[in-house]
Amino acid sequence: MEKQEEMKAFAGMCSQALSDDVELRQEVELELLDHLEDAYEEERQDATEEEALKNAFKRFGNPEEISSQLVKNNAARLSRNARIRRAAKWLLLPLLIIGVLLCIDVRGIKASSFVLRPFLVKKLVLEEQGNEDYYDYSDGVKTRKLTADEQLLFDLYYNKERRGKIVDERAERLYKSNTDDQIYCATCALEWASSGITTQEQRSKLMAVLDNGRRIDGTNPLYDFIEAYMLMTSACNLSAFDGKELNGDAITDCNAFEKAVVIYKRALTMGPVKTYGKELQEKVRDMLVTRRDLLGGMQLLDFEMRERLTYISVGREISKRIPLYCEKLHADGKKKEALELLGTWRRFLLQFLEGNHGHYLDLLASVKYAERFLQSAKKLEAKDDIAALQAVVDWLKARRDNVSQSTDDFRMIRISGLLGGALTLPEFKGDESARRIERKLEAATFDVIGLGFACVIILLIIIGYGVATLVIRMNGRHPFLFVMSQDSYKSLFFKGILLPAIIYLLMCWIVAGIGGVSGVFWQLLPCVFLCLIWPIGYGVFCRRAINERIHGLGAMENHDFKASRSLNMMCLYVVLLVVIGGIIRPVQTWRQHHYARQDTLLFPWHGVETAEAKSIREGYQQLMKLLNTEHNK
């Protein structure tokens, strides 16, 4: 009995190279056993059983050499399935690499990471100047070839530090490159003023810029407002009164403040404030090279929000201090002068708003200015001013009430969803299209992110089966790659790939495509199906088909083939990875890009304004109409 087992083991080692063809290997093993038995019988005549067996093995030679020779001698006899198995083994690694490469979408990954960054990393920068909220999506932004001056402007615009020495130095270099340029002069003056003037040298340099600005742009009140702003802040340091109720006593230098008021009144006689922020923005926009996909859209959103809103701090600080000076005049018995100065709020708000209405913050800032004047108007009992200012303040409250009347789902998306309340406006007069498209874009982006997780999960499954295959081989067992029947492959294709793919795409369309379903639960549903239900169901179908094939070969108890499921499962999951990466991922990426282009949600299209710009324009028109009505009374 031991002799037969040793002979069988020897024949198995010699025929191992033919394991791609089960039938051929069994036939060759039988032939080898016949020859071994004949050799054994011949050697047994002159030796013991043990010596005869050893001599018979020696007559055959090295099993590895025999194995190689058998492959050469029987190459023509290998069946079609055997050749398929051999090709599959050789293609396994290349297919795996191709599947991984197909799943990699660099721009999609960047776009998704930028979308998730504010909520996962909390990378929200609160800008004290103008109380501006913005997210940094600028990573990887591309530009055309820039000149030295253009590079300087680009670096100033995209500088991650919103103020400080570096910003001031770049603004100065930009200004000195062309002192007659109105855009550069206004930019430098605003940057220096907002950074704080602490020394006489800094003050002298700023005054030189202001004087130059008046020379080249004489109708622009910006430079007078900046000078008044500087005088007012030095004469009334509100930081010393932090947490206390403010009144006229906060003014510590009346002479300096009176000079500031003279300059302030002179500025009121001029036209609208020109900060040239949009002109500066257009110069930088001309440098950008962005694609019309989600990543390009997020970069454009970031670009739009990077406009230097330093002028808001000028208006804000003036609106804080003029009412305090009115209270001081009123307390000193100069009631008429106090009421006249307080009434300048109409012209003040109009000047700032007329020149700047490209951001929602411009509208909010105007209302904030009105709130500060309203507080003093109540103290001075200026009834006409109280009614007019209250109307401006109520305008913002009415817009917010309109938002609260919208659907809860939409408000949730705006606050914590894809674009966030800080980036776009939640009001569209009777137009639901932008809301629907935003829901679609949010859901499509969520699906792309889920697709990335699914590819990672499938890759981990493949690695797991690969490790199991290596362990089996190291333990002396031979994982065998089965070629199943055409019916089995058809069943796997329809039940394991085609049907789940259709179900998944239908779920995505229902959740996002029709724009009628929203919410975290519904958005998670396609991702759960893609990351868990589909891979698990596919594995069940594959294992069932493999077991049927193994039973058909009668190899369930064969030591060489018993653990071969791992290699088969690994190959089948590689196919699934290639299908998802090569078909589903492009489809989902296309959906995401398609929704990003719709209804000018992120990109202006053929001269049509974006949904955000439309909402800002509508709000600006409403507020300007209200202010002009009050101004003409």
Q: State the amino acid at position 244 in one-letter form.
A: K
Query: Nearest Cα to 389, choosing from 363, 371, 365?
Result: 371
Do β-strands 125-127 and 132-134 pair in parallel, antiparallel, or remain unpaired? antiparallel
pTM of the model: 0.68
Residue 535: its pLDDT value, please?
95
Residue 407: its pLDDT value, please?
38
Centre a 10 Å sphere on the Cβ of residue 443 and count the other Cβ atoms it contains. Answer: 29
Q: End-to-end distance of the chain based on CA atoms, in angstroms? A: 117
User: Is 34's pLDDT higher than 50?
Assistant: yes
Residue 121: its pLDDT value, please?
43
Domain locations along the chain: 2-85, 114-405+608-631, 436-600
- Side-chain half-sphere CA neighbours of 164 within 13 A: 7
Residue 435: its pLDDT value, please?
65
User: Is 416's pLDDT higher than 50?
Assistant: no
Residue 12: its pLDDT value, please?
78
* Cβ atoms of 578 and 459 closer than 8 Å: no
Residue 403: its pLDDT value, please?
47
Query: Nearest Cα to 619, choosing from 423, 427, 390?
Result: 427
Residue whose tokens read 């108007």: 377
Instruction: Please tell me the distance from the alpha carbon of residue 307 to that of residue 132, in angstroms, as a whole number.
Output: 10
Mean residue pLDDT across the chain: 78
Q: What is the mean pLDDT of residues 224-246?
A: 79
Confidence tier at 433 by pLDDT (50, 70, 90): low
**Quick one: tokens of 376?**
């003093």
Query: Nearest Cα to 85, choosing from 581, 549, 552?
Result: 549
- Side-chain half-sphere CA neighbours of 531 within 13 A: 16
Q: Report how far Cα 101 is from the mean position of its chain's Cα atoms.
A: 20
**68-77, 128-137, 196-205: range with highest mean pLDDT:** 196-205
Instruction: Please tell me the distance from the alpha carbon of residue 397 to that of residue 383, in angstroms, as a whole number.
Output: 21
Which tops the pLDDT comparison, 243 or 544? 544
Instruction: Please tell me the distance from the alpha carbon of residue 451 to that of residue 10, in angstroms, as a whole number.
Output: 50
**Quick one: tokens of 63?**
């099993």
Which tops the pLDDT comparison, 144 or 106? 144
Residue 398: its pLDDT value, please?
76
Could you give the percent of the chain with pLDDT greater than 90? Answer: 18
* Cβ atoms of 445 and 115 closer than 8 Å: yes
Q: Report how far Cα 224 is from the mean position of its chain's Cα atoms.
A: 42
Q: What is the mean pLDDT of residues 224-231?
A: 92
* Cβ atoms of 393 and 370 closer than 8 Å: yes
Instruction: Please tell me the distance from the alpha carbon of residue 149 to that of residue 112, in angstroms, as a whole number.
Output: 34
**Quick one: tokens of 610?**
């974006």
